[in-house]
Structure 1
Amino acid sequence: MKVLLTGSSGMVGKNILEHASAKDYEILTPTSSDLNLLVIDEIEKFMLANKPECIIHAAGLVGGIHANINRPFDFLANNLLMGLNLVTIAKKLGIKKFLNLGSSCMYPRNFEEAIPEKALLTGELEETNEGYAIAKVAVAKACEYISRENSNYYYKTIIPCNLYGKYDKFGDDSSHMIPAVIKKIHHAKANNIPEIEIWGDGNSRREFMYAEDLADLVFYIIP
Structure 2
Amino acid sequence: MKILLTGANGMVGKNILDAAKKHSHQFIAPSSQELNLLDFNSVQNYLEQHQPEMIIHAAGIVGGIQANMAQPVKFLVENMQMGLNILNAARANKVQQFLNLSSSCMYPRDAANPLQEELILKGELEPTNEGYALAKITSTRLCEYIHQEDSSFLYKTIIPCNLYGKYDKFDPKNSHMIPAVIRKISEAKKQELSEIDIWGDGLARREFMYAEDLADFIFYAIDNFSAMPQNLNVGLGTDYTINEYYQAVANVIGFNGKFVHDLSKPVGMKQKLIDDSKLKAFGWQFKTSLEQGISNTYQFYLSEYDHD
Task: Report the equivalent of 1:107.
Answer: 107
**C-alpha contact 1:16 1:22 (8 A) present in aligned 2:** no
* CA distances 1:95-114 after superposition (whole Å, capped 9, x unpaired): 11100000010111223431
Paired with 1:92 and 1:86, the residues of 2 have a C-alpha distance of 10
Task: Report the equivalent of 2:135.
Answer: 135
Deviation, structure 1 residue 30: 0.4
**C-alpha contact 1:181 1:198 (8 A) present in aligned 2:** no
Higher relative contact order (CA 8 A, sep 6+): 1
Structure 2 letter corresponding to 1:123:
G
1:33-182 aligned at under 5 Å gives the runs 33-182=33-182
Question: Which sits farther off after the overlay, 18-27 or 1-10?
Answer: 18-27
What secondary structure, in the 3-state scheme, does the structure 2 residue paired with 1:24 have? coil
The verdict on how the C-alpha distance between 1:7 and 1:192 changes in structure 2, with shifts beyond 3 A counting, is same
What secondary structure, in the 3-state scheme, does the structure 1 residue paired with 2:134 have? helix
What secondary structure, in the 3-state scheme, does the structure 1 residue paired with 2:181 have? helix
> Normalized against structure 1, the TM-score is what?
0.96
**C-alpha contact 1:3 1:52 (8 A) present in aligned 2:** yes
Task: Report the equivalent of 1:183.
Answer: 183
The verdict on how the C-alpha distance between 1:22 and 1:93 changes in structure 2, with shifts beyond 3 A counting, is farther
> Normalized against structure 2, the TM-score is what?
0.70
Deviation, structure 1 residue 21: 6.1
Structure 2 letter corresponding to 1:89:
A
Structure 1 letter corresponding to 2:124:
E
Deviation, structure 1 residue 200: 3.3
**C-alpha contact 1:21 1:219 (8 A) present in aligned 2:** no
Q: Percent identity?
A: 56
| Root-mean-square deviation over aligned CA pairs | 1.3
Query: Number of matched residues?
Result: 223
What secondary structure, in the 3-state scheme, does the structure 2 residue paired with 1:86 have? helix
**C-alpha contact 1:108 1:125 (8 A) present in aligned 2:** yes
Structure 2 letter corresponding to 1:53:
E
Determine which structure has more spread, i.e. the larger CA radius of gyration.
2
Deviation, structure 1 residue 22: 5.4
Gaps of 5+ in 1: none
* CA distances 1:159-204 after superposition (whole Å, capped 9, x unpaired): 0000011111101222100001111111111112222222233232
Deviation, structure 1 residue 5: 0.2
Paired with 2:91 and 2:25, the residues of 1 have a C-alpha distance of 21
Paired with 1:63 and 1:55, the residues of 2 have a C-alpha distance of 23
**C-alpha contact 1:164 1:209 (8 A) present in aligned 2:** yes
Task: Report the equivalent of 2:204.
Answer: 204
Paired with 1:115 and 1:23, the residues of 2 have a C-alpha distance of 32
